Amino acid sequence: MAKMFNPPHPGRIVKSAMESLGLSARKFAANLGVSPATVTRLVKGEIAISPEMAVKLSAAIPGPDAAMWLRMQATYDAWQAEQRIDVSYIQRYSIKGTAAQDLFNQDS
């Protein structure tokens, strides 16, 4: 899978949607049942989207479902971690044969 270069914090997408809809943080927050400070911190990228917030966002904003909001957050978080964590000293293991396929294709 190709790595995305510097994915946006999903709060930027929320901010864009709010602007398109002409919504203030206060009005949007009231609709979601959260504080205006929470919405402000989210659109500034200061807090992550939780599963609960993802459900609320998917109910309020047409388009992404809750899982998509969480994938956007996970993509952002992973990229940020990759930028700050040194893994150069870690030896990569290899799994031979079909064991690698079996490992990642297990039916739970």
**pLDDT-based confidence at residue 43 (cuts at 50, 70, 90):** very high
For the entire predicted model, the pTM comes to 0.83
**pLDDT-based confidence at residue 4 (cuts at 50, 70, 90):** low
Q: How far is CA 21 from CA 27, 45, 87, 104, in A?
A: 11, 20, 43, 42
Token pair for residue 29? Answer: 């927050």
Give the CATH superfamily of 10-85: lambda repressor-like DNA-binding domains (1.10.260.40)
Residue pLDDT, tens place only, 70-90: 999 999 999 999 999 999 999
In whole angstroms, what is the distance from residue 48 CA to residue 70 CA? 9
Helix axes 10-21, 66-84, angle to 10 degrees: 140
